[in-house]
Structure 1
């Protein structure tokens, strides 16, 4: 026993015995098992992050080229974006925004200065403008191809440099470069696969309002003739070339033969700024007729009657119906203007368009505007709808087919469904376009509700943001069918932002005269 106690003690033997924990896993065994996958996952995440970061930096740093588009020196650039699209910057006029494609890439085309030699050629030989515009499509196509290749190269190069600095490992660097190439090529491929050439037919224009018509072009030609991307682009570049090469003044916006332009305004509410905007649009867009769907005043009082004196300064036919803020005295003051026509359940033919209209049956100047039909008592609702019923009877009894019907409150529009192709209204201070419900066999009727051309007057200042000033330009073809319209919105009082959007109207009968419809004449009959 004493000999056994004197034997040397071996620590290693203790660790191997069950009492010392020999039946348990070694302390580092589990972590050693997990370390490999965690490390690989981390490396994969790092490579992906570097590839994405390098691709984005490469696109921002190298995704741009300079190219010639017609007579212009232009810069094309690509930037990461959520919704795609194209912006055409035309300094100092503004920007043309196109919903041209999907995907995470946005194309910006910035038209710069004119080349001096080509500019002199344009001034000496106007025919060179046409030649320059015809080459614009190929110029853009070539520029975009170079832009795509340059973007791919920059994306991969920046990623390789970044990955080399971070990893200092050739294999991981190569993986990051390959992924960056895949990401960038996939983004560009998505844009190419979802390309919508027809987007140029419906641009959204932002910038100086007085120059917008010269850039956008004629609505009837866009609707009927310019259905291909190449032709649209040639038209755009040709017009911009003429604009930039005009020395003394901007070119006049000449209407195409047979096109009738109507300016729809509503709810002025005594805002003099509205008249300034109306005069600008009448002049720059070549307006033939102005239509006002009511609420030109706020209280309908006698002192307010002087506000309507600006109608005569427009020197264009001005067709008016009363709103619920307009009194009989207001209507009489409008009628005294030499170029004004007041409709009250009556019709008139002006600029070849036959127009029917009826005033609002209410006179409620002390009430704020409410959405159409909301908050009306049954008695008042019957009045409002009854006005539409009365006008529908007048339209049906008219000696010639009516092209446009006018009501103040959209709630009056329902009975007019099927009686005419277009109904204009106001009252709600919110722009809206819709189709009225139609019975089988009836012609479709579009209802266009205008916002407030006067920014809702003083009421427009009551909210956090001023109510914008809005109006619309309607384009009618030779058969007096609506082909397109421009919606114009100017930021509320104290703001200067201008927005113009063009919308084309789908009309299955466009290009052929409606059956039994006589050719309208510009002789007024009321």
Structure 2
């Protein structure tokens, strides 16, 4: 019976716990059978599993999304030899801050700019102050959520690794506890060595190094913008009152069948411009909005969300690309349900036949140069050539073109005689003039708009902010320009709106406006047609706007 029982007993039935342990961990058998050596091996295994779990857990779970002011931001934590923080501002570059010590590095990636929250900041003057104060709390809350999420991920990953490696509850728990302690200690070291003053001495990388509009005196720009927003909040509502007053004057009364066109240009990412545009569209009963370019500054993917306000206007929006707008910007505009993007093409909207062509250059983040500064003849020929291409398109159009659109007024010369009206922007300086008349052809009026966005951030760097400018054009049933209103908001740095009405009594003569000298291919640079503001440009081609 005893022999039969021994035959039925399995080969591992009489194994002692120590023997089973040596079979599970073969290196302890190689090192020897003594207890201390075995314990060292087990401790080393626990430490390795804990470190592996901590690293994998941080990489897998150390990421959260959060709102910081109007931005959607990604906070990412990674193991690193040195601490610090990197703020990514795609595609402009990054800011590196020596914010803390410890083996953890924080990356803050600023994503898309939320148009609704941005406009809310501008619409409520007090919200700008609240946003600047809440931004710190937003970052703090995001970092706390990031830390908790990271700790949770580390514990979970280490538990899974411990179960797979040890198949022992006690050692798995020791590994998870050690990983938690290491991760919490690293985060505690970072919190204990936090240096808030590091934000005053960032190290710039990428295009941010050469972007004074963003990297300049941020405090002064923020202060100026707060004052500017407070002024605009008080004055935008006065546009309707001014219009009512001006319309009552016995100078010009728009006749039935008049087409009203709102000409805007050079928004440069200023959300306040949209608020003013919506007010004018509603109060002036605008039929179509025409935008002659530079709706953005860099033409980047994050800026594409800025054009989402076009769809809120509920009016046809005809757009051409400026030198600050990329093909990606134009595509974002084209996706708006009421937008029409012209690229050496024509369209008929609100009874008007409009032709337009985008600027041939893409020169984002160019500073404004003094008026009359010289350019290479190659660039001048390129800009003038754009006007020649559009002139050929206008003359071959099956329907007479009423309005032609170019971004740089230097492109307008070849359009003389091809259509009665040319609209442009680029110079941030409003001007109205006649193009040199071609014998036997109709006169052509050139209207250059100022900056509807107040030149964006760069408009706040002077002592007074650049005014927001736009014009309402009145065309009769024959689609001839009869009058126009120039609207200027905040131009004096005070709370006021200016509206000037101009009546064209004899369209054939083009009203009493000067003739614009236009550059020609291969010829000398044209002189400035008149005095310009400091930092503005003449109609000579310039890549600096």
Q: TM-score with structure 1 length normalisation?
A: 0.50
- Aligned residue in 1 for 2:422: 423
Do the aligned residues in 1 keep the contact of 2:255 with 2:476 (CA within 8 Å)? Answer: no
Query: What's the CA shift for 1:407?
Result: 0.2
Query: What's the CA shift for 1:492?
Result: 5.0
- Aligned residue in 2 for 1:336: 335
- Aligned residue in 2 for 1:208: 238
Query: Does 2:423 match 1:409?
Result: no
Query: What's the CA shift for 1:496?
Result: 2.5
Query: What's the CA shift for 1:506?
Result: 3.1
- Aligned residue in 1 for 2:435: 436
Query: What's the CA shift for 1:494?
Result: 6.8
- Aligned residue in 2 for 1:502: 501
Do the aligned residues in 2 keep the contact of 1:369 with 1:427 (CA within 8 Å)? Answer: no
Provide closer, same or farther for how the CA distance between residues 365 and 317 of structure 1 changes in structure 2, counting only shifts above 3 A. Answer: same
Provide closer, same or farther for how the CA distance between residues 430 and 509 of structure 1 changes in structure 2, counting only shifts above 3 A. Answer: closer
Query: Does 2:260 match 1:261?
Result: yes
Query: Does 2:479 match 1:480?
Result: yes
Query: What's the CA shift for 1:438?
Result: 1.2
CA distance in 2, matches of 1:373, 1:403: 31
- Structure 2 residue runs without a partner (length 5+): 1-234, 510-545
- Aligned residue in 2 for 1:355: 354
Query: What's the CA shift for 1:420?
Result: 0.3
Query: Does 2:500 match 1:470?
Result: no
- Aligned residue in 2 for 1:217: 247
- The 5 A counterparts of 1:257-336 are 257-336=256-335
Do the aligned residues in 1 keep the contact of 2:481 with 2:507 (CA within 8 Å)? Answer: no
Q: Secondary structure of 2:267's partner? A: coil
- The 5 A counterparts of 1:59-70 are none
Query: What's the CA shift for 1:385?
Result: 0.3
Q: Secondary structure of 2:244's partner? A: helix
Query: What's the CA shift for 1:211?
Result: 1.4
- Aligned residue in 2 for 1:159: none
Query: What's the CA shift for 1:488?
Result: 0.2
- Aligned residue in 2 for 1:522: none
Do the aligned residues in 2 keep the contact of 1:372 with 1:428 (CA within 8 Å)? Answer: no
- The 5 A counterparts of 1:95-174 are none
Query: What's the CA shift for 1:208?
Result: 2.2
Provide closer, same or farther for how the CA distance between residues 218 and 312 of structure 1 changes in structure 2, counting only shifts above 3 A. Answer: farther
Provide closer, same or farther for how the CA distance between residues 404 and 370 of structure 1 changes in structure 2, counting only shifts above 3 A. Answer: farther
Do the aligned residues in 2 keep the contact of 1:435 with 1:445 (CA within 8 Å)? Answer: yes
- Aligned residue in 2 for 1:133: none
Provide closer, same or farther for how the CA distance between residues 305 and 495 of structure 1 changes in structure 2, counting only shifts above 3 A. Answer: farther
Query: What's the CA shift for 1:261?
Result: 0.3
TM-superposition CA deviations, 1:67-119 (whole Å, max 9, x none) = xxxxxxxxxxxxxxxxxxxxxxxxxxxxxxxxxxxxxxxxxxxxxxxxxxxxx
- Aligned residue in 1 for 2:534: none
Query: What's the CA shift for 1:209?
Result: 1.1
CA distance in 2, matches of 1:482, 1:469: 23
Do the aligned residues in 2 keep the contact of 1:373 with 1:381 (CA within 8 Å)? Answer: no
Query: What's the CA shift for 1:213?
Result: 2.3
Do the aligned residues in 2 keep the contact of 1:385 with 1:415 (CA within 8 Å)? Answer: yes
Query: What's the CA shift for 1:371?
Result: 7.4
TM-superposition CA deviations, 1:247-290 (whole Å, max 9, x none) = xxxxxxxx742100000000000000000000000000000000
CA distance in 2, matches of 1:341, 1:322: 11
Query: What's the CA shift for 1:376?
Result: 2.1
Query: What's the CA shift for 1:217?
Result: 1.9
Do the aligned residues in 2 keep the contact of 1:372 with 1:427 (CA within 8 Å)? Answer: no
Query: What's the CA shift for 1:396?
Result: 0.2
Q: Secondary structure of 1:263's partner? A: strand
CA distance in 2, matches of 1:326, 1:444: 31
CA distance in 2, matches of 1:302, 1:508: 43
Provide closer, same or farther for how the CA distance between residues 455 and 483 of structure 1 changes in structure 2, counting only shifts above 3 A. Answer: same
- The 5 A counterparts of 1:358-369 are 358-369=357-368
Do the aligned residues in 2 keep the contact of 1:206 with 1:500 (CA within 8 Å)? Answer: no
Query: Does 2:417 match 1:387?
Result: no
Query: What's the CA shift for 1:212?
Result: 2.1
CA distance in 2, matches of 1:355, 1:302: 28
- The 5 A counterparts of 1:17-96 are none
Do the aligned residues in 1 keep the contact of 2:290 with 2:318 (CA within 8 Å)? Answer: yes
Q: TM-score with structure 2 length normalisation?
A: 0.48
Provide closer, same or farther for how the CA distance between residues 218 and 282 of structure 1 changes in structure 2, counting only shifts above 3 A. Answer: farther
Query: What's the CA shift for 1:507?
Result: 2.5
Provide closer, same or farther for how the CA distance between residues 320 and 370 of structure 1 changes in structure 2, counting only shifts above 3 A. Answer: farther
Q: Secondary structure of 2:381's partner? A: helix
Provide closer, same or farther for how the CA distance between residues 372 and 480 of structure 1 changes in structure 2, counting only shifts above 3 A. Answer: farther
CA distance in 2, matches of 1:395, 1:310: 30
Query: What's the CA shift for 1:368?
Result: 2.5
CA distance in 2, matches of 1:340, 1:371: 34
Provide closer, same or farther for how the CA distance between residues 272 and 353 of structure 1 changes in structure 2, counting only shifts above 3 A. Answer: same
- Aligned residue in 1 for 2:201: none
CA distance in 2, matches of 1:350, 1:369: 34
CA distance in 1, matches of 2:409, 2:424: 6
